[in-house]
Amino acid sequence: MAKAAKTAIKTKDQKAAAEAKNWTKVIRTLRSPKTGAYTFKEAMVHKDKIAEHLAAK
């Protein structure tokens, strides 16, 4: 049987820990028009702004 994963954030500032859960890492795949190679752009985006971030070019 596998061990249970502990997901609790251990910090003294519980308000900051609760706010940190509202952020998501977004990874976009971009293709270079010159070489055709793929590159990846990473960004930390608030969960309410994900659709706006992905719609922007």
pLDDT tens sequence across 13-57: 777 777 888 999 999 999 999 999 999 999 999 999 999 999 986
CA distance 27 to 41: 6
What is the pLDDT at residue 38? Answer: 95
The tokens for 29 are: 């795949």
Q: Of 18 and 4, which is predicted with more confidence?
A: 18
The whole-model pTM stands at 0.60
Place of tokens 């249970």: 4
Residues near 27 by beta carbon (within 8 Å), at least 6 away in sequence: 40, 41, 42
Residues near 45 by beta carbon (within 8 Å), at least 6 away in sequence: 23, 24, 25, 26, 53
What is the pLDDT at residue 21? Answer: 87
